[in-house]
Structure formats: structure tokens, C-alpha cells
Structure 1
Amino acid sequence: MLGSLIALLGVGLVVFNGSFVFDINPIGDALTIVASILWAVYCLVLKKLTSKYDTLFITRKVFFYGVLSLCFYFLFYPLEIKTGLLRQPVIWGNLLFLGLIASMLCYIMWNYAVKELGASQTANYIYMVPFSTMLTSAVFLGETVTFISLAGALCIIAGVYIAEKQR
């Protein structure tokens, strides 16, 4: 518990980066809480399923039902495709990256981690997302790593280490 709290403090430092703006948005805040709860439920269900099914099979099913849900959504809110954008190679590169790496590969790795480590132990590693985002944005986008975000990164690493050490 201590490690998770330290990592959570670190996430706050990295995300806010010294600019604490408390703008209350009830719908957005509620959706964030619901998304967190649903992710926890997903991980718990996933842990049960990985004892019966292969990780790739589960990931395929998740993507299939995700696409099916998206098609149902498009019945009510039709997709507007701008064909001019689809002629640009950078758009195809972005779509391939998002589809193959940011979605498929990450889901496969997360599902495999839940299978091997368990849902609660794997959940500690979700704290590493803001840390890796901070690093990649500094390398690829040239964003500045401030003292506050660096302190947050150290808290994240220390918190995850403590949480894993106490297991």
C-alpha cells in the first residue's frame, strides 16, 4: 500500500508538473472514475480467463467485441471520413502505429503480464505510464523535464519498487 501511494504521488507530480489547475468537470471526472473501475474489472476478469484461454485468443476477442461495439456506435453517430487525409503517408503511418503497437501489442503484453503476475501485481505497473510518457515526450517532442516531473518520476520508480519488494 505504501509503494502504491508513493507511486500515485509521483504520477500526480508528473501529470500536473507544478501547474495545479483544479477545474471541476463533473462529466469528465465521472467518466475518469468509471474508466478506472472498468479497467480494474477488466483485469480481474482477464485473470480468470487466462487460466482457461490463451492470451492471444483473449486479445483477439477483446478487439473483436471492441470493433463490434464501435460499429454499433456508428449507427447513431456516423463516421465522417475525409478521403484527402487518407492519401497522406503520415496518416497511414500513424494509423499503423496506433493499431499495431499502441493497441494490439500493448494489449497482448498487458494480458500476458496479468496472466503471469496476477491482476493486483500488474496493476502497480500502470503507474509507469506517465513516467514513460514523460520520457518519450522529452526525446521525441523536445519537451522540458522539470525538477517537479523528475521528482515525480523518482517517486514512481521508488513506489513501484517498494510495492514489488513487499510482495
Structure 2
Amino acid sequence: MNAPSPDPTALSTAQAQSRIRPEIVGLVCVLLAQFLFGTTFAFNKFVINQNVDPMLLGFNRMTIVTLCLLPFYRRCKGNTRWSRKDWRRVFYIGAFAQTTAIILEYVGTKYTTASNASLIISTEAIFSVFLCVLILKERLRLPSIIGGLLTIIGMLFVLLDDIRHVELHGGTGFYGDLLVLSSVVCWGLYTVGSKQVLNHSNAIYTLFFVSVFTNLSLGVVNLARGTLFQIVEISPIAWLATLFLGVFCSCLGHVLYYLALRRLPASIVALTLTLLPLFGVGVSMVVLGETLTLVQLAGAAIIIAGVGYAVWPRKDQTSIAEDAFVGT
């Protein structure tokens, strides 16, 4: 007796489900990653408000990140071989680009709001595109130009209140905004340098050594400033928030982001960059009780529109998500 032939409808349904499941997993991963990245700004501000030195916070967080990445590094260390040029580049990315970015962003966060910091940092993807054009000689596309102009206009709206009362000395909101804005350039350099290594290297392997060099540099900075020994004075609640930043916002966030890139088109992952300022502002309102003026809300909308337009999927265009190496 002949065996019954398989039902074509059942087969097509099973095949469709097998395709859908990875996409659903990828979508969940990238949404969780962007949410965790968005919470960074509010929790950075929260820890700093607990009388923790911003640069010490950076060192503590990167120490946790490095320890969390160690098991992942051990799993992939045999699959990557770097030249001396690669090692020099990774050292530069960690010891200079990311270290400077963290110092500027965290010190700036001390003086500005977490909402402002999240909106300013969300423009990093656009800055990275222009730096890729300048440094890597990539072609500048019209959507990037239009998106960049929109984000600049949006930033001016966001910073308008601080600009009205402009005072450049330390302690003012505008001073903090300028520091965070300066960090965006450093994060862009971090992304460009990382892209050059990631073209032929494992992402987790690269991230681990970038974290090691960043951690060592921040340790030296804190030791020279005399703030390293303030670790013993940090309150338990500040340590819990720092642990959350290191384990979840940095380590888990990056793992989820790269899992999403393996399961989704990079163009779809890039579109979720528009959620970063929404999560950043939303969490800042809930955790810190911050508010935005109508002008700042308009600026936030323009920034989101600018980033969204720049990363919108187009034919024959490399997605920003493929180039980006998310900062911590």
C-alpha cells in the first residue's frame, strides 16, 4: 500500500513558519536592544545624581562590561587573527575614541538632562555616515544629506532653551549639551574605526578588546585624578544601577543587537534606530521625572524623522546598521 503523499498546504505552512520564527526572534531582539540602549541615559544620570563621579561611573561600567564579555570572547577567540595594524586600530578605538566619548558624554550628562543627552546621542548614526565619507571615502548619498540637515535642525530645537540662557562656563545646561555633542563626534570615530576592523573580524572578539583598552584607559584617568578610590564610597543603589548599565544596557544590549543583525535585514535593524530617542526620553520621564517643552518635542520629532529618512531601506544602498558599531 502506497504511503500518503504529503499535503502541499501543510508543507507550505511549515516552511512559512520556519521563515517567520527567526524574523520574530530578530525583531524581539532588536526592540529589546534599542530599549536597553535607550535606558542608558536615564540610569547614567541617576547614578551621577548619587554623587558618583562621571568618569568613575565610566570605569565601573566598562569593568562590568569587560567581565560580562569574557565568556563570549573565550568561545570565539580561536576564530580570529589580527595583524599589528588591526591591534593598533583596536587600541586607538578603545583607548582614545571610546574613552574620550565616554568622558565627554558622562560629564556632559552631569550638567544637562538625560532627555537632552539621549536626543543628541541619537544623531550619532548621521555623524558616522559623514565621517565614513571623509575618512573611508565612501559615497555621500542624498538621503544622508537630507537626514543630516533634519537632525541638525532638530538638535537646535532641542537645545533652544539652553541656548537662550547661554553661558559656556562649567555647570550650565548648555555646557553639558556641548560636551554630549562633542562625544557624538568621538562615537562616530569609534564607529568608523570599528567598521574597518569588523570587515574581517568577529564582532564580539572586537568588542571585548575595545572594552579592555577602554577600561584600562579610564582606570588610568581615574587613578591620575584621585577618583579611583571613591569606589568604596558608592552607595548600594548606585552600584545596582551601575550593574544594570553594564550587564543589561551594554553587554546584553550588544548581544541582542548582533543576534538581530543575523536574523533580520540590516535595513530593518537600522530603522529601529529611530526608537532610541523615544525610549531615551520616555525612560527619563519615568525614572527621573523629566519633562520636555513643546519646542523640544518638535525637535525630537524632527530628529527621529531625519534619522528615519537617512536609514530608510533603498535599493543598492548599504544600511547604516551594517556600518554601525553601537557605543556603550
Fold-level similarity (TM above 0.5): yes
TM-aligned CA deviation for residue 83 of structure 1: 3.1
TM-score by length of 1: 0.69
**Deviations 1:91-133 (Å, cap 9, x if unpaired)?**
2211202222333345556788999859xxx6xx4x8655543
Q: Alpha carbons of 1:82 and 1:29: their partners in 2 closer, same or farther (altered >3 Å)? A: closer
Asked whether the 8 Å contact 1:14–1:134 carries over to 2, the reply is no
**1:118-133 aligned within 5 A:** 125=273, 130-133=277-280
Q: Which residue of 2 aligns with 1:45?
A: 193
TM-score by length of 2: 0.39
Q: Does 1:4 align with 2:148?
A: yes
Q: Does 1:80 align with 2:229?
A: yes
Q: Alpha carbons of 1:81 and 1:75: their partners in 2 closer, same or farther (altered >3 Å)? A: closer
Gaps in structure 2 of 5+ consecutive residues: 1-144, 315-328
TM-aligned CA deviation for residue 65 of structure 1: 0.5
Match for residue 138 of structure 1 among 270, 277, 285:
285
TM-aligned CA deviation for residue 46 of structure 1: 1.0
Aligned partner of residue 164 in structure 2, secondary structure: coil
Aligned partner of residue 81 in structure 1, secondary structure: helix
Aligned partner of residue 200 in structure 2, secondary structure: coil
**Deviations 1:65-102 (Å, cap 9, x if unpaired)?**
0111123334423323263545x2x1221120222233
Asked whether the 8 Å contact 1:47–1:114 carries over to 2, the reply is no
Match for residue 160 of structure 1 among 292, 299, 307:
307
Q: Alpha carbons of 1:132 and 1:63: their partners in 2 closer, same or farther (altered >3 Å)? A: same
Amino acid at match of 2:197: L
Q: Alpha carbons of 1:36 and 1:82: their partners in 2 closer, same or farther (altered >3 Å)? A: closer
TM-aligned CA deviation for residue 62 of structure 1: 1.0
More moved, 63-72 vs 12-21: 12-21
Gaps in structure 1 of 5+ consecutive residues: none
Asked whether the 8 Å contact 2:148–2:306 carries over to 1, the reply is yes
What is the rounded CA distance, in whole Å, between the counterparts of 2:233 and 2:165 in structure 1?
38
Asked whether the 8 Å contact 2:277–2:304 carries over to 1, the reply is no
Asked whether the 8 Å contact 2:159–2:177 carries over to 1, the reply is no
TM-aligned CA deviation for residue 57 of structure 1: 0.9
Q: Alpha carbons of 1:84 and 1:41: their partners in 2 closer, same or farther (altered >3 Å)? A: closer
**Deviations 1:17-59 (Å, cap 9, x if unpaired)?**
5763322359989966764443222211211211221111111
Q: Alpha carbons of 1:81 and 1:128: their partners in 2 closer, same or farther (altered >3 Å)? A: same
Sequence identity of aligned pairs in percent? 27
What is the rounded CA distance, in whole Å, between the counterparts of 2:187 and 2:249 in structure 1?
17
Q: Alpha carbons of 1:68 and 1:18: their partners in 2 closer, same or farther (altered >3 Å)? A: closer
Larger radius of gyration: 2
Q: Alpha carbons of 1:166 and 1:95: their partners in 2 closer, same or farther (altered >3 Å)? A: closer
Asked whether the 8 Å contact 1:128–1:156 carries over to 2, the reply is no
Q: Alpha carbons of 1:158 and 1:63: their partners in 2 closer, same or farther (altered >3 Å)? A: same
Q: Which residue of 1 aligns with 2:32?
A: none
More moved, 144-153 vs 103-112: 103-112
**1:12-161 aligned within 5 A:** 12-17=156-161, 20-24=164-168, 35-78=183-226, 79-81=228-230, 83=232, 85-86=234-235, 88=236, 90-106=237-253, 125=273, 130-161=277-308
Higher relative contact order (CA 8 A, sep 6+): 1
What is the rounded CA distance, in whole Å, between the counterparts of 1:31 and 1:142 in structure 2?
23
Aligned partner of residue 302 in structure 2, secondary structure: helix
